Amino acid sequence: MHKLDPDLSFSEIRNGLTTIVIFSTSVLVLFAVAGSLSRIPRLGWLPIMFIQIALAIFVIALHLFRKKLSLRFRSYAICVVFFIAGVGGLLSFGLAGAGTMLLIGCCTFASLLIHIRAAIGFTVMSALVISSQLILAILGKLSYNIEMTGLLLSTSAWLNNLLVFGFLVIIPILLIDKFLAYLHRLLANQAEYIEAQSEKLSNSESILSAVVNSLTYGVLWKDNELRYLGANKYYLKDINVTALSDIVGKTDDEISGMQRAEYFASIDRKIIAGNSDVVSFDEQHTNAEGETVYISVSRRQLCSEDGRNIGILASYYDITERKNMEFDLLDAKQTAEQANLAKSQFLANMSHEIRTPLNGVMGLIELCLDTTLSDKQQNYLTKANLSAKTLLHIINDVLDISKIEAEQVQIESVPFSLQQILGSIEDQFLPQAKSKNIDFNQSYFGPDNLWVKGDPTRLLQILMNLCGNAIKFTEQGSVSCRCDVDIDGATATLTYRIQDSGVGIDEQVLPNLFRNFTQADNSISRKFGGTGLGLYIVKLLLKLMNGEVNVQSKLGEGTCFEASLKLPVCRAQNEASADTELVPDLTAKRILLVEDNDINRLIAIEILSIAGANVVFAVNGQEAINKLETDTFDVVLMDIQMPVMDGCEAMSIIRATPKWDTLTVIALTANAMTHEIEQYRQLGFNDHVAKPFDHLHLLQVVASYC
């Protein structure tokens, strides 16, 4: 970077001038002292001579020690020397001496070496001294100790005045010449500096212009009158302008073909008024080729270095690709939602279509099991019932996945006993283990009669999936279910360990074990069946309950699943009576069964009749409405998908009729999706029983409304 000559600083200029004056004065005082001493034979020893000698010594000392003394001190000191010498000359010799010229020198040097205020101060003091002498002269009281006539005519007097005159003329001339030389050098340096800075500025402008014009988005800037100060080539091309000069100094209104000029002007005026610092928005735009594109616009205050608002800076860039991607993502999302809806609809339809005949199969099997059978028949039907329940379990797994992924599963928080959960596990799996000739052990390590708040149904589902897997993959040995409870204040940490001595799992498979539709052995010839959904459901349910599941296994050495979760401890509740397992008494209760499937109708009538109910049936919604018009019923069991009139339409008619507004209507349907159940409740159904239904559960639900 170009720099000014350091010798041309203001302080350096004064330092140079002061040095010249002090050096010249030190030479002068030697002649002045010599001249004064030469007058001693004629005038005698005068007090002014002591002053002259002292000042001479002082000036010489200033010159010798100039590098150790500050510029300010030296400047004031030399001016004071001239002032004292001038005053002394006036008082001793009057106009015959060089006092007046010395005072003039003092004032001149003060203006050059110090500043104008110091020069004015010395001038005022000098004028006061001369004026006092003038007043004394006017009053006739001005007198001197020596005869001036002879002094004025002496050779030494003329030489003294000539010397002082020459000094006071030559030194200011030298100082002024030196000062002008300094100014000339300063101006030359300034010109060189300005030229260098101009070149740098020109280079900077060229670089800035190249950078701005290389940008792949538009940039423009305006003054506070909204007149263009500049823009880059991207913007000029976008508005069909070839040269920047065509828009500089103009407003948007003055540029032909400018789109939405008033709209942008209104935004810019708000920014200039201080109503907003930055305005950003996306909009549709037509480019120079006439194509419709999307741009992201930013308009803000253009400020100077000191923070003053000097105009508007605007920029914009093409976001068409991003917008198109957003549109594609939106389309993909809508497609995915439609696919998900189609999946849900497919699952609902498949669930209904499978559950309806499965309800007939399971219902007839259970009815047969309640009759007198041979041992072989009992064995066959028991196994058929187990197969049917396995099929129902698979269907429920698929529906659970759909519900969880759709975030339709609500985790309950109700009091329940841990011992009851473990008792249910033992009742469920002990017979299965015995049928495979393996041991099933259950252990509990925690406080007796411990009650917690949570979702017992989902916890039981988790444990049943883990224990069911353990028994399925164990051919010999044992399966154990251990529950450890750690109480910390009002929180119980439950840790369930399900350990088996089964086939084990390859370590390479473990990371993918909890993915949906995944099993440890995916080969076609795998020995063990299943959908691969059980562990996936376990992980999802535990995640909803803020728990976690881990697995440790070695191929051929068995597997250990560990599920843990934290639940709040609560007070023990009154346990349900064993009477709840008894078949409810529905004697003399009139029930209208609306069911189009002959087998399902037969099963439901048989179950309800065994409980003592008086059952009347209808095969569609319209027939049900007709029977309600002519008869009175305690409960209506309504199927949903029926010919002529479905259950939902019939329900709407029932709830729209005042005389039936308190009639209990229970949906008895194979539709078991969460959103379907919610829809039925909104239509006015009092409850819902899903097919295939448990016989006792159906009777208990009906009895609760009678």
Q: Is the pLDDT of residue 71 over 60?
A: yes
Determine the pLDDT at residue 370.
Answer: 78
For tokens 């001016």, what's the residue?
79
Give the pLDDT score at 405: 60
Mean pLDDT of 505-509: 79
pLDDT digits over 254-291, tens only?
886 677 788 888 888 888 888 777 888 888 877 767 78
DSSP letters along 580-596, please? Answer: GGSPP--TT-EEEEE--
Instruction: Say what the alpha-carbon torsion angle 441, 446, 447, 448 is, to the nearest 10 degrees.
Output: 0
Stretch 538-558: mean pLDDT: 88
What per-residue confidence (pLDDT) applies to 529? 42
The yes-or-no verdict on residue 578 having pLDDT over 70 is no
Sorted by sequence, the CB contacts under 8 Å of residue 419 that are 6+ apart come out as: 444, 448, 449, 450
Percent of the chain with pLDDT over 90: 18
* pLDDT exceeds 80 at position 30: no
| Position 705 pLDDT exceeds 60 | yes
In a 3-state reduction of DSSP, which class is residue 577?
coil
CA atoms within 13 A on the CB side of 634: 15
With a cut of 80, say whether residue 511 has pLDDT above it: no
* Tokens of residue 558, six digits: 């068995």
124-138, 167-181, 359-373, 517-531: the lowest-pLDDT one: 517-531
- Per-residue pLDDT of 645-678, as tens digits, reads 999 999 999 999 999 989 999 999 877 677 778 8
**What is residue 397's predicted lDDT score, i.e. its pLDDT?**
64
Q: In a 3-state reduction of DSSP, which class is residue 442?
A: strand
Q: Is the pLDDT of residue 594 over 80?
A: yes
- Note whether 492 and 568 are within 8 A (CB): yes
CB 89 within 8 A of CB 48: yes
List pLDDT tens digits, range 454-506.
988 788 888 888 988 898 889 899 999 999 999 998 999 999 999 999 888 88
pLDDT at residue 524 is higher than 50: no
Give the pLDDT mean for 126-135: 84
Contacts of range 106-112, beta carbons closer than 8 Å, 24 or more positions apart = 106/79, 106/80, 106/82, 108/168, 108/172, 109/21, 109/78, 109/79, 109/82, 109/175, 110/79, 112/14, 112/17, 112/172, 112/175, 112/179
- pLDDT for res 160: 61
Summary mean pLDDT of the chain: 80
Residue 630 has pLDDT above 70, yes or no: yes
Q: How many CB atoms lie under 10 A from the CB of residue 366?
A: 18
Higher pLDDT, 159 or 53: 53
Rounded Cα distance between 559 and 555, Å, is 8
Which of 150-154, 388-392, 532-536, 648-652 is most confident? 648-652
Q: Which position has the higher pLDDT, 652 or 88?
A: 652
At 127 the three-state DSSP class reads helix
Name the pLDDT band for 35 (thresholds 50, 70, 90).
low
More confident: 380 or 637: 637
For residue 167, pLDDT beyond 80: no
Q: Could you tell me the pTM of the whole model? A: 0.44
Residue 46: what pLDDT? 65
CB 473 within 8 A of CB 502: yes
Q: What is the pLDDT of residue 367?
A: 80
Structure tokens at 469: 């897997």
Q: What is the DSSP string of 402-420?
A: HHHHTT------EEEEHHH
